[in-house]
Structure 1
Amino acid sequence: MIRWINGKRKTDLSTETEALRAEIEALIGRFKTVQFACVSEDNEPLASYAPFVRQDGDFYIYVSALAPHTTCLKTTPVASLLFIEEEQTSRNLFARLRLILQCSVEEVGRGSADYEEVLDRFADKFGPTIAMLRQLPDFSLLKLEITSGRFVKGFGAAYTVTDKAFNQLQQIIGK
C-alpha cells in the first residue's frame, strides 16, 4: 500500500506516522464526548456536543430529535468534529493540540445489526442510561464517517488527515 508522508511516497507506515497516529488516538481517547459543528437547512451554523463511540474508524452519536443539532445533522448531513486539548494542560493557548475531522453523516436504521451492535457499545461505555434512552422513540443513531481532517500539534506542526485509520498523514508546509 502506498502512503504519502510529508509529500514523500512511502510504501510502509513510517515511524513518524506511527507516532502521529498514536498521538491522535491518545487525544481521542481522552474524551467521552465530541464537540461538533453542523449547518442548518437555512445555512445557520450550530455548535454542540454529544457522547460518542467509535467502531471501525467511524464515530457514532445517539441523539434526540428534540435537540436542534439532530435536525441539522439529518437535513444537512455533514459535521465538523473537534477534539481539543484542555486549556489547563496546554502550554500555549494559541497552539492547543487538536484534531478537526470533516465527516459525512448517515442515520443508522433501528433494528439493523449495526444499530444493535453500536448501541451495545454505548451501553458498555456509558452504562444504564443507554437502556433508558433505547426506549425513547425520538433518539437516532448517527454514523459520522471521516472525509478529511487536520491534526495540529502546535505552531508549524499541522497534518492533513485523509483516512479514518489515520494512516495517511501529510505535513502542511507554509508558502
Structure 2
Amino acid sequence: MNKLTNEEIIDAFKTFPKDKFSLMLSTTSKDNEPLTSYSPFVEDDNKFYVVMSSSLPHYKNIEATLKAHAFLIEDEKEASHIYARKRLYFSTSCKIVEGEKYFELFDKRYGDSLSFIRKMKDFKIVELTPKDKSLVLGFGAAYLMNENGELMEKNISHK
C-alpha cells in the first residue's frame, strides 16, 4: 500500500462509513457479559445514531453502562485479501436521544424501509459519540485518531 499523507488518512476516516449501511455494536452488561449485535446507522456531525428496541439486551446494556464499541468492515467480496479487510472501529460513549430530526436522518438514508419503526413505542435512538478510532486499510496501513480528529499514530507495523 502506498504511503498516505495525513490529509488522505483523515479523509479516509471520514469517508469510510459513507458506503456502509450497518455497523456491529458490542456492549457489556453491568455484570460484564459481552454481547455483539448489528444495526443500521446514520452519521451526523461526527456522531453515529442507531435505532434499537428498548426490550432487547443490547439496549439494556447501553442504558446500564452508557458505553459501546462500534465496528464497520469492508464486505468480504470486495476485499483484496481476507485478512486485510478494511475496517474502522471505535469505543463510544452513548446517550439515548429523542427527536424527529433523527428519524429524518434515517428516512433520508434508507427511504421508507425503516419508517415503520417510528410507530413502535419500544424503539429508541441511541447516539454514539466516538472516542479514539482505529482505521485499518491493509497490511501495515493502520491508523489511530483521537476523539478530537487528530492523528495519533500511523502505519502501525507488524512484528
Deviation at 1:39, TM superposition (A): 0.7
Q: Which amino acid aligns with 1:125?
A: R
Instruction: Pick from 138, 149, 153 the counterpart of residue 170 of structure 1.
Output: 153
> Does 1:140 pair with 2:113?
no
Listed one character per residue, the Cα deviations across residues 105-132 of structure 1 (whole Å, up to 9, x for unaligned) are 0111x3xxxx221111111222234442
Instruction: Pick from 59, 70, 90 the counterpart of residue 70 of structure 1.
Output: 59
Task: Report what 1:10 is aligned to.
Answer: none
- Structure 1 gap segments, 5+ residues each: 1-14
Partner SS state of residue 128, structure 1: helix
Please give the alpha-carbon distance, in whole angstroms, between the structure 2 residues aligned to 1:101 and 1:122: 21
Partner SS state of residue 120, structure 2: coil
Please give the alpha-carbon distance, in whole angstroms, between the structure 1 residues aligned to 2:6 and 2:151: 8
Deviation at 1:100, TM superposition (A): 0.7
Listed one character per residue, the Cα deviations across residues 34-57 of structure 1 (whole Å, up to 9, x for unaligned) are 111111122111111111111111
Task: Report what 1:60 is aligned to.
Answer: 49
Superposed CA RMSD in Å reads: 2.0
Larger Rg: 1
Task: Report what 1:150 is aligned to.
Answer: 134
Listed one character per residue, the Cα deviations across residues 112-165 of structure 1 (whole Å, up to 9, x for unaligned) are xxx22111111122223444221221111110001112111222221112136x
Tell me which moved more, 131-140 or 56-65: 131-140
Runs of 4+ in 1 over 4 A off after TM superposition: 172-175
Tell me which moved more, 155-164 or 69-78: 155-164
- Structure 2 gap segments, 5+ residues each: none
> Does 1:42 pair with 2:42?
no
2:79–2:85 Cα contact (<8 Å) kept: yes
2:146–2:152 Cα contact (<8 Å) kept: yes
State, as a whole percentage, how many aligned pairs show the same letter.
29
Number of aligned pairs? Answer: 155
> What is the TM-score of this pair, normalised by structure 1?
0.79
Task: Report what 1:83 is aligned to.
Answer: 72
Deviation at 1:102, TM superposition (A): 0.9
Please give the alpha-carbon distance, in whole angstroms, between the structure 2 residues aligned to 1:132 and 1:147: 31
